[in-house]
A and B are shown apart, each in its own frame.
Chain A
Amino acid sequence: MGERKTLGPRIATWIPYAWLIIFFLAPFLIVFKISLSEPTLAVPPYAPVFESLADIWVKIGALSFANYTWLAEDALYIKAYGSSLWIAFVSTILAFLIGYPIAYGMARAPRGLRPILLMMVILPFWTSFLIRVYAWIGILKPEGLLNQFLFFVGVIDQPLTIINTNIAVYIGIVYSYLPFMVLPLYASLERMDETLLEAAADLGSTPLKTFWQVTFPLSLPGVFAGALLVFIPAVGEFVIPDLLGGSETLMIGRTLWNEFFFNRDWPVASAVAIVLLALLVVPIVIFQNAQARMRETR
Chain B
Amino acid sequence: MQAITARLLAAAAISFLPLNAAAQDQVVNVFNWSDYIGEGVLDDFTAETGIKVVYDVYDTMEMMEAKLLAGSSGYDVIVPTDRNLQRLIKAEVLQKLDESKLPNLKHQWEEIRQELGAYDPDTQYSTNYMWGTTGIGYNVGKIEERMPGAPVDSWDLIFDPEIIAKFADCGVHLLDAPDDMIPAALHYLGLNPNSKDSDEIRQAGELLKSIRPHVQKFHSSEYINGLANGDICLAVGYSGDVLQARDRAAEAENNVTVEYSIPKEGAMIWLDSFAVPADAPHADNAHAFINFMLRPDIAARNSNYVYYANGSKASQPMLDEEVLTDPAIYPDDDIVAKLYTTSISPPRAQRTITRVWTEVKTGQ
Report which A residues bind B (CB closer than 8 A): 39, 41-45, 76, 141-143, 164, 243, 246-248, 250, 258, 260-264
A-B contact pairs, 20 of them (CB 8 A): A39-B347, A42-B69, A43-B68, A43-B71, A43-B91, A44-B70, A45-B69, A45-B91, A76-B358, A142-B171, A247-B218, A248-B362, A260-B66, A261-B60, A261-B62, A262-B62, A263-B354, A264-B65, A264-B66, A264-B69
CB pair A247–B91 under 8 Å, yes or no, is: no
The 8 Å CB contact of B231, one of A45, A141, A248, is: A141
Cβ-neighbour of A261 out of B66, B71, B222, B231 (below 8 A): B66
Q: Which of A41, A43, A246, A248 contacts B70 (CB 8 A)?
A: A43
Docked pose: A87 CA to B358 CA in angstroms:
20
Q: Is B201 interfacial (CB 8 A cutoff)?
A: no
Of B69, B90, B91, B216, the contact of A164 (CB 8 Å cutoff): B216
Chain B residue with Cβ nearest A76:
B358
Which residues on the B side are within 8 Å of A39 (C-beta)?
347
Docked-complex contact B216 and A43, CB < 8 angstroms: no
Q: Which residue of A lies closest to B278 (CB)?
A: A43
Given A43-B70, A43-B92, A258-B354, 8 more A-B residue pairs with CB atoms under 8 Å apart are A41-B87, A76-B358, A141-B231, A247-B217, A247-B362, A248-B361, A261-B62, A261-B65
- A142 CA / B70 CA spacing, docked (Å): 42
Q: Which residues of the other chain, A, contact B354 by a CB distance below 8 angstroms?
A: 258, 262-263
* B: number of interface residues (CB 8 Å): 32
Q: Which residue of A lies closest to B177 (CB)?
A: A262
Task: Indicate whether B143 reaches chain A with its CB closer than 8 angstroms.
Answer: no
Interface check B93, CB cutoff 8 A? yes
> Within 8 Å of chain A (Cβ to Cβ): is B350?
yes
* Shortest CB distance B74–A (Å): 13
Report if B63 contacts A (CB, 8 A): yes
Contact at B362–A250, with CB atoms within 8 Å?
A: yes
How many A-B pairs have beta carbons closer than 8 Å: the answer is 58
- Which residues of chain B from 54 to 77 have a CB within 8 Å of any chain A CB? 60, 62-63, 65-66, 68-71
Q: How far is the CA of A292 from the CA of B62 in the complex (A)?
A: 45
Given A142-B231, A264-B65, is A41 in contact with B90 using a C-beta cutoff of 8 Å?
yes
Known contacts A42-B91, A44-B71, A45-B91; A247 and B215 CB within 8 A of each other: yes
**Which residues of chain B from 213 to 232 have any CB-CB distance to chain A below 8 Å in the complex?**
215-219, 222, 230-231
A143 to B170, CA, bound (A): 11
B65: which A residues are within 8 A, CB to CB?
261, 264
B141 at the A/B interface (Cβ < 8 Å)? no
A266 to chain B, nearest CB (A): 8
Complex: A261 Cα to B171 Cα, angstroms: 27
Cβ-closest chain A residue relative to B62: A261
User: In the complex, A258 Cα to B177 Cα: how many Å?
Assistant: 11
Q: Which of A41, A141, A248, A250 contacts B91 (CB 8 A)?
A: A41
With both beta carbons as reference points, the residue of chain B lying nearest to A258 in the complex is identified as: B354
User: What are the 4 A-B residue pairs with the smallest beta carbon separation, nearest first?
Assistant: A261-B62, A247-B218, A43-B71, A247-B361
Assess whether B92 is in contact with A42, with CB atoms less than 8 Å apart.
yes
Q: Which residue of A lies closest to B231 (CB)?
A: A141
Q: Which residues of A contact B363 (CB under 8 A)?
A: 247-248
Chain A residues near B93 (CB, 8 Å)? Answer: 43
User: How far is the CB of B294 from the nearest CB of chain A, in Å?
Assistant: 27
Q: How far is the CB of A162 from chain B (nearest CB, A)?
A: 12
B217 touches A164 (CB 8 A): yes
Q: List, in ascending order, chain A residues with CB within 8 A of B231's CB.
A: 141-143
CA–CA, A258 and B353, complex, Å: 13
Q: Is the CB of A43 within 8 A of B217?
A: no
B323 to chain A, nearest CB (A): 31
Contacts of B63 in A (CB 8 A): 261
* A248 to B, closest residue via Cβ: B362
Q: Which residues of B contact A76 (CB under 8 A)?
A: 355, 358
Minimum distance in angstroms from A284 CB to a CB of chain B: 30
Residues in B with CB closer than 8 Å to A142 are 171, 231
| Minimum CB distance partner of B63 in chain A | A261
Residues 317-364 of B contacting A (Cβ, < 8 Å): 347, 350, 354-355, 358, 361-363
Per the bound structure, the CA–CA distance linking A251 and B222 in Å amounts to 19
Instruction: Output the least CB separation between B180 and chain A (Å).
Output: 12
In the complex, how many angstroms separate the beta carbon of A171 from the nearest chain B beta carbon?
17
Q: Kindly list chain A residues whose C-beta atoms are within 8 Å of the C-beta of B171.
A: 142
Neighbouring A residues of B91 by C-beta, 8 Å: 41-43, 45
Cα of A261 to Cα of B67 in the assembled complex, Å: 10
* Interchain CA distance A243-B176 in the complex, whole Å: 13
Complex Cα distance, B357 from A258, in Å, reads: 12
Contacts of B60 in A (CB 8 A): 261
Give min CB distance, A254 to chain B, whole Å: 10
User: B358: nearest residue on chain A (CB-CB)?
Assistant: A76
How far, in whole Å, are A142 and B232 apart by their CA atoms in the complex? Answer: 10
A164 to B223, CA, bound (A): 13
Q: In the complex, A258→B71 CA distance in Å?
A: 20
A-contact bits for B120-152, CB 8 A (1 contact / 0 none): 000000000000000000000000000000000
